[in-house]
Amino acid sequence: MRKYLLIGASAFVLGAGAMAYVSQQALAAAQPKAKTYRMLGLFGDVLDTVERQYVSEVDDTKLIESAIDGMLTSLDPHSGYLSPDSFDDMRDQTRGEYGGLGIEVTSEDGVVKVISPMDGTPAALAGIKAGDYITAVDGASVLGMSVTDAVKQMRGKAGEPVVLTIAREKSDPFDVKIVREVIKPKSVTARMEGEYGYLRIGSFNEKTTDETEAAFADLKAKNPKMKGLVLDLRNNPGGLLDQAVGVSDLFLDGGEIVSQRGRDPRDVERYNARPGEITNGLPMVVVINSGSASAAEIVAGALQDRKRAEVVGLTSFGKGSVQTVIPLRGGMDGALKLTTARYYTPSGRSIQKTGIDPDLEVASSREEAQAIANKVFQFSEASFRNALNADEGKIRRGAHEPAEAPPADFDAKKDFQLTRAKDVLRFGSVAATPKLPKPTAKLAEVVTGARVAVAKPPAAKDAIAK
């Protein structure tokens, strides 16, 4: 308040005319602030009333943290407040080593939903799938809990079991017993698929670029006659922006990878590849699906736009926004995870909500093809009620018949999307690859069977179950 008084005193010596002008300006500026201060007073009144009259004693810290988190999550699904413990957990997660189950989850109106299990983790090995709902932990309901509180229920010492109750589309609820482990997910795996190399990137943590470069070097050294490379980004929930840039850089010979643009049109940051790429021009195909998000979409979009690789699979998740983690008092009071920019592919596409469309659309199964024809079953950024809009006002592709799905005689134990990716390498391009007949999925078909009776509005916060 003293600062405002000093400003007023300084203005007074300028004379009556100047004072009248300054007063009008100050009044106009003060009006919105006055409303803000009134609402802050209202918050204090509500907190005081809850403290005095709620049926049982309350934890003030928890109430205020929840209020801060609610304010941020009302902006978009990916902004939120990280308590000091959650902030420490997030730093462990991005370092690529932490304790827990290995599930990335979000919250939809009090319902915990799995975004993706991480490759090789206890959750993945136990059969947890993207889109599953976690309704209880060790028999105690987590419905209505914040995602942070639900994640705390799933944490525990390595070696201790935990029982998750899972609700899944077209299935009765069931229990899954999982033994907690110290999670050290290797984000990159590699193998040969016939004459073609195969690199699988499951997430983008601080080690991903180095692991990708080392995995490819080892693959090439053991298979010098490799004829092409498949980069598999399916069900990759994303991660660190600098690692997406680093991985893209490995396969691009200079030029732009991605740009990010904030509120101010002049606030543009561009990321470029350095000269030279590690494959010496080997043909590449990238495989994506609706679980490929964020950093995975940056890589797919960069390689697609720069004509370095063609993309096979399904339209990606559509998370084209950038979150900045802002520590509060050096992390002592936790941190804000705040959406600060949209990112754009080299051609200038904002893929927020719309996703990366593949050059060859391929469903992994006939059931998945039918799900695409029934838009109601699709889970993507666009399904969040308060998702940030695409900058150009584009909308995500609706229900439609996918271009391809496995023929009736295709071996269900094989990976159809990977098979078609290798076909593209063998024939040299998507255009030259013989196309298969469209699946017989029926648009807007009413699919019978058990359905999970849960609401699907906005996400509250992303986290890792540990």
Given 152, 207, 319, 353, which residue is catalytic? 319
Beta strands (DSSP E) in 209-334 are 228-232, 255-261, 268-273, 284-288, 310-313, 321-327
Per-residue pLDDT, 153: 85
Given 79, 290, 292, 294, which residue is catalytic? 294
The question of whether 462 is a catalytic residue gets the answer no
The answer to whether 368 and 441 have CB atoms below 8 angstroms apart is no
Residue 65 CA to residue 330 CA, distance in Å, equals 17
Q: To 10 degrees, the CA torsion angle through 272, 357, 117, 70?
A: 80
Q: To 10 degrees, the CA torsion angle through 81, 87, 93, 96?
A: 140
Q: To 10 degrees, the CA torsion angle through 398, 404, 410, 412?
A: -30
Per-residue pLDDT, 93: 65
Given 89, 305, 359, 423, which residue is catalytic? 305
What CATH number has the domain spanning 77-183+456-465?
Answer: 2.30.42.10
Q: What are the boundaries of each domain within the chain? A: 2-58, 77-183+456-465, 188-427
Q: What is the Cα 325 distance to its own chain's centre?
A: 15
Per-residue pLDDT, 18: 35
Q: What is the pTM of this model?
A: 0.74
The question of whether 319 is a catalytic residue gets the answer yes
CATH (one of 3.40.50.150, 3.40.50.300, 3.90.226.10, 3.40.50.620) for 188-427: 3.90.226.10
Per-residue pLDDT, 255: 97
The question of whether 294 is a catalytic residue gets the answer yes
Per-residue pLDDT, 239: 87
The answer to whether 354 and 381 have CB atoms below 8 angstroms apart is no
Per-residue pLDDT, 158: 83
- Identify residue 323 by its one-letter amino acid code: Q
175-233 pLDDT, tens digit per residue, is 999 999 887 767 899 999 999 999 999 989 889 999 999 999 999 999 999 999 999 99
Per-residue pLDDT, 99: 67
106-137 pLDDT, tens digit per residue, is 777 678 888 778 778 899 899 998 888 999 99
Residues lower than pLDDT 70 in the chain: 1-32, 92-99, 109, 185, 376-378, 392-393, 440-466
